[in-house]
Structure 1
């Protein structure tokens, strides 16, 4: 029964994401959440919820799709895709993400998104992504910029 509940929770999260419903997404997260992805790094519950609000409010053209939802005991995963225009460059991005989850008390307590940062940087940044996307330098620079944007968003809206 728990496996079905975890699959339903992942489906609820990504259905809400596709409908740009950050409030429902946040309701799927446990207060002890640890989120991680290549762009934002490691975030806590408050930061992750603010990140989704920021991303969804700033991107009216985002398209989210998901498939291959699974769960086994306290773990689960999904393959999802995001299509959007990267606001900083106006370039089209089609990011393919593998998400892994951990569950606690019927909610998501661990959420880790994995994607090819180099591939993303080439789409989002163009030539600078082609030339530097494979380097730790650009990866750290993007994470620093994302952290700065999130801090600013949280200071203004949270």
Structure 2
């Protein structure tokens, strides 16, 4: 499978809520990073997608565009729309993804997005007041990694 098709397959699976299809595109030694989770390796990165898809319960809407690849790297733009937290605040998150490939799979996946914009939408007033701070980013990463750890304990793979 060429790299363009690999990224297309990854995002088609994401659009369809198919975490297994997404993680099949990942190398076993995958390194994933974003502002919400920090850096995840291997099984952690794969479990993250399973957890997010399951927690979304079909309410997540994903679109993607601008896939570009070279012999060893790739990129894409994607947007997620979903309700967040107990108050079901609507979030629209615009993300730039960068990829590195190895052995026909994605070995590195780095998502970047405007964390301040995300915190304002997802957390309301506290996000608007503190979303720019390292304190808030660290708090979010601690919470998301705790959720991921609990998920992995209940869903060993």
> What TM bracket, shorter-length normalisation?
over 0.9
Distance 1:63 1:75 in 2: 26
Question: 1:107 maps to which residue?
Answer: 105
Which of 24, 33, 38 is the matching residue for 2:35?
Answer: 38
Please report the TM-score for the alignment, with normalisation by the length of structure 2.
0.97
Shift of 1:15: 0.2
Q: What is the Cα-based RMSD across aligned positions, in Å?
A: 0.9
Question: 1:116 maps to which residue?
Answer: 114
Distance 1:100 1:118 in 2: 20
Aligned residues: 155
Distance 1:98 1:54 in 2: 21
Ranges of 4+ aligned residues in structure 1 off by more than 3 Å: none
Alpha-carbon contact 1:76-1:102 (below 8 Å) kept: yes
Distance 1:87 1:64 in 2: 18
Q: Secondary structure at the match of 1:39?
A: coil
Shift of 1:124: 0.3
Structure 1 unpaired stretches of 5+: none
Please report the TM-score for the alignment, with normalisation by the length of structure 1.
0.96
